Every structure is written in structure tokens, then in C-alpha cells.
Structure 1
Amino acid sequence: MTSEYLKEKFGPEDRTFPNMLQRQSQKYGKQDLFACGDARLTFDGVQDVAEGYAGKLAETGIEKGDRVAIMASNRPEFMKAFVACGWRGAISVPINVASRGFQLQHILSNSGAKLLIIESDILGALYDLDFQALQVETIWVIGDHDGAFPSHGPRALPFPEAGDPIEPAAVQPHDPLTILYTSGTTGLSKGVICPHAQFFWWAYYTGSQLGVVEKDVLHTPLPLFHTNAMNCFFQALLFGATQVVEPRFSVSNFWKSMKASGATVTYLLGAMVPMLLSRDPGEEERGHSIRVALSPGVPASAAEAFSDRTGIILLEGYGATESNAVIGANAKTVRHGWAGQLREGFEAQIVDEYDNPLPDGEAGELVLRATEPFSMALGYFGMPEKTLETWRNLWLHTGDRMVRDSDGYYRFIDRMKDSIRRRGENISSYEVEQVLIAHPDVEMVAVFPVASELAEDEVMATIVPASGSNLTGEELIRHCEGKMSYFAVPRYFDFVGSLPRTENGKVQKFKLRDRGLTPDTWDREAAGITLKR
């Protein structure tokens, strides 16, 4: 099935999840659509799940437009909840399973979720929440648990069996399908409102870039609560392929699992490729059926070495949760170190701080807009000011500094604002600072990225201790554990007497980034400190 055929088959009014699922279920029926562990769901099986669990949502009082938070790892129940919401017209709110404390409270509060679906292994994340300030009425717990549960929380029930099947809600392409929270800036996590049609276009653009065809096996080790893996599901749905979901990315098990599934396409983040290359070469690197991988952010030298060793073509690309797969390259046009060229259906400019377009070769902020209706996000949930700020002058401001060459290729340089990207996860320096400043011996703090040996960032914090304290790095690490995502816990600490500031008192983080590591910097890994997850 070609991407052009998809555009013809699914007209502008047809690009909703229920419509896409019904049509593809009729076409592919008993072919596997989704596999996770020992669980496999065919195309018509996914529709049965959507109908039945949407019925259970209705029994629970979930109506069209209500938000349902899902906090679970890669397992079948996640997908059951996600497709049920899409069928019911409810809005799913996938949450990173590592979210804790301040961030988790904010996400549940901002989304106004009425139902929370959570895995039993991470129930401890709920103990520090103020449920009196939340709208959560019911909790469904996935998996066995000992009954321990915060007494101050709402009623908790086991994840149920499907209910009586119901008809799909009357949703439109512009209706929200999901809200994805991103920590891409220095402030609070923002809930990106993704409409139904946006995921049609995610699949259309990414699937055509990768050359996805019927019966392909799209094997992803990435978490279902991220855009990448959701995009993969819709590629499988629209192109007649099968999505295989790995529990988690494992360097030691990667090639074995890919061979076992018969994977033909896979998905890697920038840091994963150097991690796989760090192992000694072996026959398993060629004992697979993978022809191509989507792998944004891989250093050019690593991409070339990986392709030489494995025979897999690594394709670059660029897409934010707010946008789509707007820039990319295929096997014929790939240029390692460059994100690719602008896709049809989008407009882009590189602009200065006043939104004036810059000439080719000069770096500035990438701004975008779409020519296809609802192929990009609708804004930030419950944050109209942030929406206006990001979409000012009718352009989506990505916050990414990029450069375009005379051939129309785009290259990512860095983030315009102070965000951190570590091991494929976006980290808000603001949220890390909120946890650190809560320590009684921390007077001031600034959190920022420093270079990592794995081509992305490590988290560093410069601390001004309270007068007379004997604060240590290990003490701060233990303070952070359980209060933030484990991947956001700083690796490096500098203890100083003051922070550099502007005349109006704003901390000059660029000076701290420029200074980077010093001989006095405390390193968690060098100290042998192991994080508790």
C-alpha cells in the first residue's frame, strides 16, 4: 500500500481513529496488528478490544472529551486503554512511568484526568500526591498488588475485563485523540493536544520515509507513552503491517529480540546507536531481517559505522510532538549529520529572535506550519498563554536552533532554551530545580546540560549551599530519588558561593554551560553511586 493510496482512501473527513481502525480491520482482518510479549492482537482483534473496553469506560462514567491517564510500561493493557479511549472519544493522557512528585502532580492536575490507569509496580508514585487537588475519581491497577495503596486516594480497582461493545463516538479529525506531556522547556511540563488527524499524518509521512509495506514487522524498543512508538502503531495500522513492542531497550538483548520477531523496520534514538556499537562485533549483528531504522540524532560517524557493521540503513528525521515528521530523508537522500529536507505539506523558515527569516547557512530558530488540516498539534492543554507564545505570528516555534543549506537540507545545532535531552528523554531543568531547591540546605540552584559521551546530554547542577551546611553530592542524590524521574537525577554537582547573574537578577546559565565540568565537580558515576529506580 502506497502513501498516495492512503491519501486517496482516507479523505480529510475520514482521518479519525475509529474510522481508520474499522476500514483496516475489514481489509486485514486476522493479520496481526500488535504484539507485546506473548500477547498478539489481530486487526479485527484490536477493534474488538476498542469496542469492549470503550464499553467499560462508558460504564465507569467516561464520556467523550474526558481525560484518561495511562501510566504503564510496554504491555498489552496500555494499548487496550489507548484504543478504547480513541473509540470512546475520550482523550488518553499517557504518562512517563518515571514521573514522580512535582511533575506527576502537575500532569494529573493540568489534564483533569477522571480515570487513572496505573501499573502495580509503580503504585508507590502515588503516595506523595495530593489527591484532594486532583479530579481523579477511579484508579484501575494493572497487575497483582498486595493491596497497599494511599489511603487518601480514590477507589482502586483491578484492571477490568472488557465490557459490552459499543459503537464508536462521533469524533472528527480535529478532535483531540491524546495529550502528550513534554518537558521541552524550562517551565512546567506542557500537555500537547494531538488531534486524530495528526496521527494519520505521522503514519503517512514516517511510513513513506521508511518505505513501510504490507506485512512489514515494525519492532520498537521505545516506550508506548512517547510519540515515536505511537507513530509506529499508526504506521502498522495504515500500511497493513505489524507492530512488535519490546518491554524496554536492552543492548544485550537487542539483536536476539529483533531476529526472533522477524523485524524488518526498527526505531532507535540517538544515544542507542553508540551503545550498540560499544559491544564487540558479532554474527548476530547480521543475523536479522531489518532493512532500515528511523534514528534521529545519531552522530554521522556512528551512523556510518553502524550501517557498515549491521547492513541497516539509518534514516535521519526531525519531528516534535507539536509538529509532525516534517523533515526527513529516505534511503536515497540520506545525508548523515543532517535531518533531511522539508516534507511536502509543511512550510518552514529559519528565523532570528524577531521572527525575521535568515538566509541559508545562517543558524536560527526553526519555525513551522502545515498546509494539511490538523496535521499538527492544537496547542497546550490548559495553557493558552504558552500556546500563543509558541504559535506566535502563525508559526510553530520549535525552540530548536537549526541551519538550512542551499540544497534544502536542515541540520540541528542545539536547543534555543535551556532544556536537556538525556538517553532519548526530554528533561525540564525547571522541574529538577524545584526538587533540589526544596532541600533545606540548598540556597540557590541552576540546572543545565553538559556534553555526554553518548552524543546527548548529562544533567549538571550548580548549587549554592545554605550558610554553614556540609551538603554533599550523595545527600542530594538521595534527596532526588523518588521525587523525579530517575533519568532526570543530576550526574554532576558543583558547589559554589554564588551564581552568575544579570543586572536584573536572572541567572546566566550560559556562563555555567560554557564553564562546564571543573576539577572540583562531583561526579555521581565516579563516586560509584547507583540510583534506585
Structure 2
Amino acid sequence: MLNEKTVGEIVKEAARKFPDIEAYVYPEHGIRKTYKEFDKETDELAKAFIGMGIQKGEHVAIWSDNKREWLLSQFATGKMGAVLVTVNTNYQEKELEYLLQQSDATTLILCESFKGTSYLDIVLAICPEIIHSEKGNILSEKFPHFKRVIVMTDNEYKGMYSWAELLSHADKVSDDTLENALKSLHNEEVINIQYTSGTTGFPKGVMLSHKNVVNNGQLVGDYIYLTEEDRLCIPVPFFHCFGCVMGTIASVTHGTTMVIIEQFNPGKVLQIVQDEKCTALHGVPTMFIAELNHPDFKQFKLSTLRTGIMAGSICPIEVMKKVITDMGASEITIAYGQTESSPVITQTKTDDPIEKRVSSVGKPHPAVEVKIIDPLTGEDTPTGVPGELCTRGYLVMKGYYKNEQATRSAIDPNGWLHTGDIAVVDEEGYIDITGRIKDMVIRGGENIYPKEVEEFLYQHPKVQDVQVVGVPDPKYGEELMAWVILKSGEHITSDELKEYCKGKISYHKIPKYIEFIESYPMTASGKIQKFLLREMSKEKAKV
């Protein structure tokens, strides 16, 4: 049976069932709140959003690491109906500008800075009108929908609301008004837009409904047997589905305590799992690798750890085994999916045989259909024969925001979402992901589409042509290699080209390797043979 509740209603239900259980803990700040308190806090914030003039269906972008304000905003918007637009913390000017324009965001909630990058400087660079605007009434030709900026601080900035100023608007709104807003929401309505890179090089806004994310969180939690006695450590970023569906929503649907880490640090994770007696831990493979290889790993007492999820990129078998044996997470599971599927399609079970738990991505969740087809004919492939994995059911996104063409390319007329991933199913129904039809590169859990990086590098005045491919990497799973043809008579070093990228595109999209070449391997019909470039890249990178 699917869960029919909205994102706001699952908080209310948790507060009724588990009022005195800790909802969330921020160990770094000594903050602890019960589900009863969490419900009250998110009510107040929802009223503040309404009092500020934010309407149901308005797009509210949020840009920060895993701060408490992010968590509260997710569930407060879930109560009053604004659509939360999640922003990658690595974004720079061009990427933020594109997202604010494409998403029609009216509001941006942000922290002051992240890892030495001033978010305030970036916002003012793309929208200088903010400084001269009345708070809540930004007038910008470039961003016609954009009205307000809210900063996660009590510091004052011209043209922007402080967090305290935001909260002061709650007094204007009655409890009845909020209750009516909550009751007006339907679980089929969009509540979240997450941007994922597309093959065109421009990110696409994946529209997810209450039904999408509540049920996916519910099922993910069911698979690892979460209860109100569990404490889930969440070091994965909230702006990904891993953090805000498999982390926060999975916890709230089960009355589980969220133990939240603002920014991943392996030593910090181990310390907090020990001190907070966490029973579950989420992470992409690179996170688990960093934790296992921490110099003081053996000093930490992780005896409470039982389960968790490894996902985000292909999970190395040896790493999975070490998480089970050395960390003691004997019930760790692997999940597979993508943002467009809310995100999890398949997951291993805690009692699956060890071989299956380390070498497959499990079986489809309940209420989820999966088929593997020949990408050329569309016919189902036999057992053991690779093909494209397609999925259908409650989990399929509503579509890409303002991009009908891309939506039709992803979801066929029969409702099947075509993942672009190559998969194979065995006799027992376990699925293994063997590759990708598209050229997508997954670096440490971050999806990178080479075309986006290519289009950026094309802008350099000395570059004539560029092709980007992935190469295997022991730490991140994959790294980028760019093959560059320079314009006649030009010269530039790989370091200079990397320097050109810094501050303009996200650091994880900057190629680790840059090689210069006179011409590309081509087919007779003039198409570049990327598979040969990949082979050449492996040789060059000595992988």
C-alpha cells in the first residue's frame, strides 16, 4: 500500500506517534529537538513563509550545506505548499544564474558562504539590483520572477532578510490559516524541483511530487528496518535526493532520529557515529572509503552501527565487504536509481546473501515495475542479456520543468522512464548495472555530463574543439579527461586551462587530466569515436 500523506502530514504524524523521540540532532552545535518540537518549529516557519507573501506553488530555491535552516525549510514548505528548488552547493555564478532563471524562483534562501566561497558575493554579482531594492521587492529584468533573498544568519545585509526577520512574519498568520494551507495540498502536486545535468549541457529541473518522495523515503526506510529506536547519521548533502529523500524523509516516515553533519568529514562522521550511538549511516562509496582509511579508524567504537545505504555510484565489492566486517554494519544495503525516479528503483535487502549484497543493486522496490530492453528495438531482453533499464510506477517524476521535449524523451507514452543505464538481470531477479548508454560520468556520486564541460571549454578563445570522457579512478570511481584541439598557432598548458575553469564551473566538473591532440579518431561518416578516446584516456592516465 502506498503512503498517501503529503510531506507536511508525515511530520504531523511523527509528532503524534513519537512526540518525545529526538527528531534531529546537530552534534556540532549541541542542538537536539524532539518530533513534537520539530513539528512546532516547522509550523512556525511555514507561517513565516505565508506571512512573507510566499504562495502555494511558488518556487523557493535553497542554497546551503546541511544546515538546520535547510532541514526546517524542507518540511515547512511541505506544509504550506511552496516548491523547494534544491541548489548544488558547488554551483558558481553561471550555474546559479541559469537555475534562478530557468526555475522561475521567487525566493532564494542561502547561507553566507560555503568552503571559502561567498554565496552573497555570487548572488550580488548576478543580481546587483538586490542592494538597491526594498526587501521582498527585488526588481530585476534578468530575473522577472525573483522577489526576495533570505540569509541563514542574523547578520544584516542590504536588500536581504535575515533569518530572524523571516521568522517575525509568522505572527501575521493564524494556526487556522496554516491548517487550511496544509489541507489544501494534494499528494500528486509537485513539492520539490531538483536540477540534474542533461546531455544538452544544461541542467534540467526534475519535478517531484509529495507522492514521489514520501513513498520513496518510506520504502527505503522499510528496507533497512528503520524504527523510532534508530539513529541515522546523514553526512550526504541535502540538495541530492540521497540526503533529502533517503535521509530526512526516510527518517520522518519512521520516527527515526536524524543525526546531521553539515559537511562531510570522515573523522567527524566516525566520531559522531560513536558519540551519538548511531545505528545507521548513509554515504556514497567515496565517503565509506575515506572513513575506512581514516588513520584513527580502529580507535572508534562503532558497535551500535547496524545498517545504512551505500549509493550514488557503483559500489566496489571490497569496500562493501569492509563496511560489513570492519565497520560492523552487517545489514548495510545498496540502492540504485536516479533523481528522475525519486530516486530509488532497486535496493538490496538486509538478509540477501552477501554475494548478492555486494555484487548487485538488488531487486525493484514494491509498487515499482522494471524492464530491461534492447535500446535499438525496444524489445525486452532475455535473462542475462544487457539492455537499458526502464521503470514505471509511483516513483516516476512529473517531468522536467518547462522542458516538454526532454520529458517526452525520458518518459515514453506508456509511462516508462528510460534511465539510459545498461543493466542485466540474473535468474533470481537480481539486477546489476553494467554501464551507461549516455556518456555520463559519475565522480564521487556527482553526475557529470561531458557535453556540459565541453560546451564550457569551447568558450576559451584558444580552444578549437574538445571532447571529454571519463576514466576509472580508485578514489572517485571516475575522473574527467579532456582531449583538446587548439586553434592554429595557439599554445596553452593544461594547468592554465584548469585555472580558467576555477570559479566558473563546479570543481568536480574541472577535468583532472587534459591532453592536447591534433585530431580525433573518427568513423567513416565523420562521427568522433568516443570509445577509442576512452581507451586512449585509460592508457594516458595509467589506469
Both proteins in one fold, TM over 0.5:
yes
Residues 1:255 and 2:270 are matched in the alignment: yes
1:503–1:171 distance in 2 versus 1, CA, 3 Å: farther
Q: Which amino acid aligns with 1:60?
A: M
Distance 1:104 1:504 in 2: 38
Residues 1:236 and 2:251 are matched in the alignment: yes
Residues 1:196 and 2:210 are matched in the alignment: yes
Q: 2:7 aligns with which of 17, 35, 47?
A: 17
**3-state secondary structure, aligned to 1:133:** coil
Task: Name the residue aligned to 2:346.
Answer: 327
Q: Which amino acid aligns with 2:152?
A: I
Task: Name the residue aligned to 1:141.
Answer: 151
Q: 1:440 aligns with which of 451, 461, 478?
A: 461
Q: Which amino acid aligns with 2:160?
A: A
Task: Name the residue aligned to 2:308.
Answer: 293
Q: 2:383 aligns with which of 336, 360, 368?
A: 360
Task: Name the residue aligned to 1:303.
Answer: 320
> CA contact under 8 A between 1:184 and 1:426: conserved in structure 2?
no
Residues 1:381 and 2:371 are matched in the alignment: no
> CA contact under 8 A between 1:120 and 1:144: conserved in structure 2?
no
Pairing of 1:56-75 with structure 2 (within 5 A): 56-75=48-67
Q: What is the number of residues matched between the two proteins?
A: 503
> CA contact under 8 A between 1:186 and 1:419: conserved in structure 2?
no
1:288-328: per-residue Cα shift (whole Å, max 9, x none)? 41111211332112211332212112311212221142211
Residues 1:156 and 2:165 are matched in the alignment: no
Q: Which amino acid aligns with 1:338?
A: S
Distance 2:523 2:41 in 1: 57
> CA contact under 8 A between 1:34 and 1:242: conserved in structure 2?
yes
Residues 1:29 and 2:19 are matched in the alignment: yes
Give the Å deviation of 1:129. Answer: 2.6
Give the Å deviation of 1:243. Answer: 0.7
1:430-489: per-residue Cα shift (whole Å, max 9, x none)? 222232111111111112211111261101111111222221111111111111111111
Q: Which amino acid aligns with 1:222?
A: V
1:346–1:263 distance in 2 versus 1, CA, 3 Å: same
Give the Å deviation of 1:184. Answer: 5.7
Give the Å deviation of 1:125. Answer: 2.8
Q: Which amino acid aligns with 2:7?
A: F
Percent of matched pairs sharing the same residue? 26
Distance 2:88 2:460 in 1: 24
Task: Name the residue aligned to 2:131.
Answer: none
Moved more, 471-480 or 505-514: 505-514
Residues 1:318 and 2:336 are matched in the alignment: yes
1:332–1:29 distance in 2 versus 1, CA, 3 Å: same
- Aligned-pair RMSD on alpha carbons? 2.3
Structure 1 residue runs without a partner (length 5+)? 1-6, 150-154, 524-533
TM-score normalised over the length of structure 1: 0.89
1:280–1:139 distance in 2 versus 1, CA, 3 Å: closer
Give the Å deviation of 1:506. Answer: 4.4
**3-state secondary structure, aligned to 2:484:** strand
Give the Å deviation of 1:212. Answer: 0.7
Distance 1:286 1:35 in 2: 20
1:236-257: per-residue Cα shift (whole Å, max 9, x none)? 2111111111122212332112
**3-state secondary structure, aligned to 2:521:** coil
Give the Å deviation of 1:345. Answer: 0.8
1:125-159: per-residue Cα shift (whole Å, max 9, x none)? 32553663222211112236685x8xxxxx32223
1:143–1:473 distance in 2 versus 1, CA, 3 Å: farther
Give the Å deviation of 1:501. Answer: 4.1
> CA contact under 8 A between 2:348 and 2:361: conserved in structure 1?
yes
Distance 1:290 1:355 in 2: 44
Task: Name the residue aligned to 1:213.
Answer: 227
Distance 1:27 1:306 in 2: 33
1:363–1:522 distance in 2 versus 1, CA, 3 Å: closer
Distance 1:114 1:482 in 2: 25
> CA contact under 8 A between 1:103 and 1:431: conserved in structure 2?
no
1:506–1:125 distance in 2 versus 1, CA, 3 Å: farther
Q: Which amino acid aligns with 1:157?
A: Y
1:350-390: per-residue Cα shift (whole Å, max 9, x none)? 111232110111111100101xxx43321111111111110
Q: Which amino acid aligns with 2:150?
A: W
Give the Å deviation of 1:91. Answer: 0.1
Q: Which amino acid aligns with 2:367?
A: G
Task: Name the residue aligned to 1:98.
Answer: 90
Give the Å deviation of 1:161. Answer: 4.3
Q: 2:365 aligns with which of 343, 362, 381?
A: 343
**3-state secondary structure, aligned to 1:239:** coil
Q: Which amino acid aligns with 1:244?
A: V
Task: Name the residue aligned to 2:130.
Answer: none
Give the Å deviation of 1:211. Answer: 1.1
**3-state secondary structure, aligned to 2:194:** strand
Give the Å deviation of 1:504. Answer: 5.9
Distance 1:450 1:186 in 2: 21
Distance 1:310 1:80 in 2: 31
Give the Å deviation of 1:267. Answer: 0.4
Distance 1:76 1:279 in 2: 27
TM-score normalised over the length of structure 2: 0.87
1:438–1:140 distance in 2 versus 1, CA, 3 Å: same
> CA contact under 8 A between 2:57 and 2:81: conserved in structure 1?
yes
Distance 1:118 1:42 in 2: 25
1:517–1:287 distance in 2 versus 1, CA, 3 Å: closer
Residues 1:511 and 2:528 are matched in the alignment: no
